[in-house]
Amino acid sequence: AYSTGGNVTINNQSTGSLQVVSSFSNAIGIYGYTADGSVDINNEGDVFAASFYGLADGIFASGTDVDVSNSGDITAISIFGGWAAGIEAQATDLTTVHNEGDISASATYGAAYGIYATGGDVTIANSGNVEAQGYYATGIEAQSTGDVSVDNSGDIVAGSVSTYYNPYTYSTNVSGSAIATGINAESNGEGAAVDVTNSGDISAVSYFGGAGISAISSGQYGTASVTNSGNIYASQYAKYGYGAYGIVTSADGDSSIDNSGTIDVVSAGVAEGATALAFAGDASVVNSGDITVYSSAALGYSATGITAFAANGNASVDNSGSVDASAKYWASAVTATAQGDVTVDNSGSLYADGDKYAFGVYALSNAGDVMVHNEDGGEIGFYSYYGRGWGVFAYAGQGDVHVTNDGAISGYAYGQSAGVFGLAGYG
């Protein structure tokens, strides 16, 4: 359905299937477009779209305001092409996508998206299972100049890596996804709020860089938050890649993560579990779940369970769960750094195993105070095979350092070892 200046409505209530195959052009199952107006698509049937040498979309919608509702199963395959999306929705104002069906999108080359949505404001609610396979593989992609809201309760699989040993070159060949992301939500609008809520299981596997959930608000005063109760797995194969990240939030304003699920990260380079970055606001991470991160790189790479960084504000971490960080070089269960105050509260378990450096808690402030409390029942442990280890390492350049231990701190290091190390430059 196409209009040059009016509204477009497509309502498919058939329980049958739509199938479209193109040999040398694009393949789109349901297409709704208007140059100036709204597009509303409601689909209850199954959609199969396959293209050789072209793009493939199960559902495509473009207009001033776009609303897509789908309960059917969608398959989009681009063979030797550069684009495949189960649902592609683009609007200049408001984009809304509600999906309850299972989606599979694959592209031999280029990008594959389960759900791809852009607009002035973007809202996505997904309860279906989503799989995306391609050189760039993303389960749910939301890009906006305004607010972004993603609520996911379905399972997401993004990317894959396969390896085999070549006996002629005496090397291992790698194929699959270069970059894989379960949920990616971004906005560059001033004051934009990017919020992601996830209760589904997410897997992101690649050989250059992978992230379970990424929420970024780069505009001035923008905020980013992620609330997760699902299971997240992220892995990255190449040593010189971008790293593997369970959850990342980054904002000009406040940046926050609330995790009660399981995060498992394996990387040949940098490994990060839950990372909150704020450049003009505050960064905070609350964890009551299990976080395990591992980096196999031997030199210069790190594994960090929880990171809270505030370039100009305050940073805080509240952990009641279990965090385990292991690395061949630098391992930290909690890293909290800020220009302002830094606060770390632990009533759970924190453990770091780093061959060169191991930190149960690494807390640093340039101009504010550092406050670390290991509560009654809290456990902090560290192990460094041939390096240095600290249960709590707390440093304040200008402010005061307060460390209170009501729990247990234990560890071993071949070199320097301390249960609590506190230093205040001028406080």
Pairing outcome for strands 171-176 and 161-166: antiparallel
With residue 112 as reference, give the H or E element that holds it.
strand 111-119
Least confident of 109-113, 159-163, 207-211: 159-163
| pLDDT class of 172 with cuts at 50, 70, 90 | low
Q: Is the pLDDT of residue 209 over 90?
A: yes
With residue 157 as reference, give the H or E element that holds it.
strand 156-158
Average pLDDT across the chain, whole number: 96
- The pLDDT of residue 240 is 85
Residue at 93: amino acid letter: D
Going along 108-201, which residue ranges are E strands? 111-119, 121-126, 130-133, 136-144, 148-152, 156-158, 161-166, 171-176, 179-187, 193-198
- Report whether 384 contacts 359 (CB < 8 A): no
- DSSP-derived letter for residue 128 is S
- The pLDDT of residue 171 is 63
Q: Which tokens belong to 179?
A: 């970059």
- The pLDDT of residue 115 is 98
Q: Distance between CA 297 and CA 294 in Å, rounded? A: 9
Q: Is the pLDDT of residue 170 over 80?
A: no
Q: Is the pLDDT of residue 327 over 70?
A: yes
Q: Distance between CA 251 and CA 214 in Å, rounded? A: 11
Query: What pLDDT digit, counting tens, does each position of 228-285 carry?
Result: 999 999 999 988 889 999 999 999 999 999 999 999 999 999 999 999 999 999 999 9
Q: How far apart are the first and last CA of the chain?
A: 69
Strand partners, 90: 62, 118
| pLDDT class of 163 with cuts at 50, 70, 90 | low
| pLDDT class of 169 with cuts at 50, 70, 90 | low
pLDDT over 70, % of the chain: 97
* The overall pTM is greater than 0.85: yes
Using only C-alpha atoms, the chain has a radius of gyration, in whole angstroms, of: 23
Query: What pLDDT digit, counting tens, does each position of 14-64 carry?
Result: 888 999 999 999 999 999 999 999 999 999 999 999 999 999 999 999 999
Q: Is the pLDDT of residue 161 over 90?
A: no
Query: What pLDDT digit, counting tens, does each position of 114-128 carry?
Result: 999 999 999 999 999
Going along 229-329, which residue ranges are E strands? 231-236, 243-251, 255-259, 262-267, 271-278, 283-287, 290-295, 302-310, 315-319, 322-327
Q: Is the pLDDT of residue 164 over 70?
A: no
Cα–Cα nearest to 372, from 390, 350, 346: 346
Torsion of CA 144, 146, 149, 150, to 10 degrees: 10
Q: Can you tell me which residue has the tokens 């789908």?
A: 70
Query: What pLDDT digit, counting tens, does each position of 385-405 carry?
Result: 999 999 999 999 999 999 999
- The pLDDT of residue 174 is 65
